[in-house]
Structure 1
Amino acid sequence: MSLLQLYGYARCSTCREAKRTLTEAGADVQFHDIVASPPDATTIRRWLQCSGRPIEDFVNTRGTVYRQRDLKRAQFSEDEWIMELTRDGRLLKRPILETPDGEVYVGYHEGAYRRIAMGGGD
């Protein structure tokens, strides 16, 4: 299997577990720390297109930043959310897994990650 792109936060235990699951199943993984280096708008737009999911599925609504900024009340357009996500990677739901064939998965599901790592998709 080709290189998988895993986007997450290095200090997040779920992201570390996701990476461990993939590598233990034999996958080559490149990890991107979204807090140290948030993805650009082009990357986020690619995720939206490839996943077919709305921007809201990529927003970390359980995170501290979301709650502190009271973003539940935000009436952002997709473009405005994308700009917010590029400014602060802590607002992104994590992990995000991108496969070489363009599939994008949001969140960690051990079984699905094992199947993906072994080349079976979900």
Structure 2
Amino acid sequence: MTAIRIYHNPQCGTSRNVLALIRHAGIEPDIVDYLKTPPDRATLLALMSALQMSPRQLLRRKGTPFEALGLDDTTLTDDALVEAMMAHPILMERPIVVSPKGVRLCRPSETVLELLPAGPLPPFSKEDGEVVIGEDGRRVG
């Protein structure tokens, strides 16, 4: 079995679809509900490094206190943005998946297929019915 970790928000449809795809591949991942157990500073910085993303790129705007905190101020330092994410984990874009094949921000959800072991998978559709893996076992789209 492959060791995979997902930084997951169970309230997010994309995150639920990514988790379902991982499980569909026969893998039970280590699930980190990052709203309840946020990554510490070192882990957050390591994730950003592995993603090759800056703190500003990892900030989630929709459904967060982004505007209320004035995080659209381009003069804010990376350190200030990291501090904001640590104080308000909802600001961290999700889901992030860590696997032996790499680290990805899995938006859209089918991005996670790049991190799963190779091989055909049974057909799979997202919660909304969108087909991700067709009858032939191949990624659709």
The TM-score by the shorter chain falls in which range? Answer: 0.7 to 0.9
Aligned equivalent of 2:117: 118
Partner of 1:75: 75
> Does structure 2 retain, via aligned residues, the 8 Å contact 1:22–1:113?
yes
Runs of 4+ with >4 A deviation: none
- SS class of match (2:65): helix
Query: 1:75/1:38 Cα in 2 relative to 1: closer, same or farther (>3 Å)?
Result: farther
**How far apart, in 1, do the equivalents of 2:93 and 2:47 lie?**
12
Q: Which residue identity does 1:114 align to in structure 2? A: L
Q: Identify which of structures 1 and 2 has the higher relative contact order when contacts are C-alpha pairs closer than 8 Å and 6+ apart.
A: 1
1: distance between equivalents of 2:82 and 2:118?
30
Instruction: Output the aligned Cα RMSD.
Output: 2.0
User: Could you tell me the TM-score, scaled by structure 1's length?
Assistant: 0.82
> Quick one: structure 1 residues 26 and 16, their matched pair in 2 at CA, closer, same or farther if it must change by over 3 Å?
same
Contact 2:5 2:32 in 1 (8 A): yes
Structure 1: segments with no counterpart, 5+ residues: none
The number of equivalent residue pairs is 119
Bigger helix fraction? 1
**Bigger radius of gyration, 1 or 2?**
2
**Map of 1:58 onto structure 2:** 58
Deviation of 1:87 after TM superposition, in Å, equals: 1.4
Instruction: Name the residue aligned to 1:8.
Output: 8
Mapped contact 2:4–2:99 kept (Cα < 8 A): yes
> % of aligned pairs identical?
19
Given that 1:25 and 1:114 are in contact with CA atoms closer than 8 Å, whether structure 2 keeps it comes out as no
2:117 and 2:92 map into 1 onto residues whose CA distance is 26
Looking at structure 1, the residues matched to 68 and 49 of structure 2 have their Cα atoms a distance apart, in angstroms, of 29
Deviation at 1:119, TM superposition (A): 4.4
* Comparing 14-23 and 48-57, the one that deviates more: 48-57
SS at structure 2 position matched to 1:66: coil
TM-score normalised by structure 2 residue count: 0.73
